[in-house]
Amino acid sequence: MSDRNFTRRGVLAALAGFLPAATWAQSQLLDQGKSLLNQQLPGQQGKTSSLPEGEIGSGLKEALKIGAQRVVARVGKTDGYNGDPAIRIPLPGPLQSIQGPLKGMGAGGLLDDLQLKMNRGAEQAAPKALDILADALSKMSIDDARGILAGPSDAATQYFKRTTTPQLTTAFRPVIDSALSGTGAVSVFKTVQDKASGIPFAGSEVQSFDLTDFTVGKALDGLFHYLAGEEASIRSNPAARSTELLKKVFG
């Protein structure tokens, strides 16, 4: 059941066949999963009953692999985060609270520049997710597969969150830290901190804020946001099933 075929060629294929997430299909996921576990619905008898359990598990892994490839291709490019209102990383609360005073000092543009650089860091880190998600898939057991297929509409996304968040955080942190330094975000943030020190009741919170940790957390939120969408699309939208195994298992 191991599937480590997470190659660069696969990523390019996913890019060629990218389809947007079908959010309208969310409500169908539970019934699809029960059908695959042979708890079949009227009119679907015989559709998967002849498939061995291992083949159904392989189909689920392939679906999640393709979904992960599409998501990383989507967010791991210029404006993958910054140009997408659904996942654009916002300014953290302590910085939002000083926007007005900074604008009054003629320094409002600093925060706009900082937010852009935070999103650029997330875009640079996103490709690091591929190998980590692939490793999680290779370790998926048949019990994991059963739980995902019979679980709620975001069961696969929750599996990824549970099994990969520590590794993704570790992998993303140095990339985002380097990106924030390389793009000048750290320098901009230091300037913001200096100016905030003169703003009553704002200085201490801004001084102690960890910009990298915040950016890493929001970058992972964006990744999981679109993984949930792909989970719905591949398992419920026939047009998103781009391989024979997916058509066989989910068709």
Q: What is the pLDDT of residues 173-199, one digit of tens each?
A: 999 999 888 878 888 888 888 877 777
Residue in 8, 18, 7, 5 with CA at minimum distance from that of residue 71: 18
Assigned domain for 189 exists: yes
Q: What is the pLDDT of residues 84-99, one digit of tens each?
A: 999 999 988 888 877 7
Confidence of residue 109 (pLDDT cuts 50, 70, 90): confident
Locate 114 and state its tokens.
């900082």
By the 8 A CB rule, do 196 and 240 touch? no
Locate 112 and state its tokens.
């706009």
CA distances to 58, 60, 76, 251 from 3, in Å: 8, 11, 23, 21
Assigned domain for 155 exists: yes
Number of residues assigned to the chain:
251
Assigned domain for 175 exists: yes
Separation CA 192–CA 117 (nearest Å)? 14
Number of domains in the chain: 1
Assigned domain for 1 exists: no
Assigned domain for 3 exists: no
**Domain limits for position 117:** 8-250
Considering only residues 228 and 44, tell me which one the structure prediction assigns the higher pLDDT: 228
Give me the residue label for tokens 């100016």. 195
User: What average pLDDT does the segment 151-177 reach?
Assistant: 92
Separation CA 131–CA 6 (nearest Å)? 7
pLDDT at 226 over 60: yes
Enter the pTM of the model.
Answer: 0.72
Confidence of residue 49 (pLDDT cuts 50, 70, 90): very low
Assigned domain for 2 exists: no
Assigned domain for 118 exists: yes
Residue in 164, 97, 88 with CA at minimum distance from that of residue 131: 164
Assigned domain for 150 exists: yes
Separation CA 232–CA 107 (nearest Å)? 44
